[in-house]
Amino acid sequence: MADPEKLFMVNVVTPDGLIFSHHSSIVEMRAIDGQRSVMYNHLPILTPLAIGEIKVKRSREMNNIVNHIAVSGGYFEFSNNVATIIADSAERAGNIDVSRAKAARERAQNALKKAQAAHDQRSLERAQVALRRAVNRISVYNSDK
């Protein structure tokens, strides 16, 4: 008989509440200092997250489904085989309104051009962040297809 699969709990929380809570065999994310993966019995860790994708690989019993979640920053904490992601905002791939994300990308691109032309550094930085968020949402939506 095969060894039992070692799973841990993954919770994703935003200011709007809990958006994801399932068991997982591995979680992959982009921290501000690079890509990270966490498995069962990983040492405790607390790391800030970059705008990016969280991949949660589910159990064999769930056919190793990978859930894709777009986050726009926040923190990842792991201890006692519980992963908690506290995100500024987070959306599961299936809940992303891709037409809204594309419209946000277009608005951000226009704001970027306008800020560059006006040499407005603060507006340029805000437009760059908005563009990264929109592109991330589109990318996560497409990765689930």
| C-alpha count within 13 angstroms, C-beta hemisphere, residue 141 | 14
pLDDT of res. 62 = 80
pLDDT of res. 136 = 97
Left, alpha or beta for 79 (phi > 0: left; psi -120 to 50: alpha)? beta
Query: Rounded CA gap, 70 and 143, in Å?
Result: 11
Query: Rounded CA gap, 42 and 56, in Å?
Result: 15
Q: Can you list the alpha helix ranges (DSSP code H) found in 9-144?
A: 98-118, 121-143
DSSP assignments along 68-87, one per residue: EEEEEEEEEEEETTEEEEEE
pLDDT of res. 3 = 58
pLDDT of res. 60 = 83
Along the 145 residues of the chain, how does pLDDT read in single tens digits? 345 789 999 999 999 999 999 999 999 999 999 999 999 999 999 999 999 999 999 988 888 899 999 999 999 999 999 999 999 999 999 999 999 999 999 999 999 999 999 999 999 999 999 999 999 999 999 997 6
pLDDT of res. 61 = 83
Q: Which of 127, 117, 41, 145 is nearest to 83 (CA)?
A: 41
Query: Rounded CA gap, 1 and 95, in Å?
Result: 38
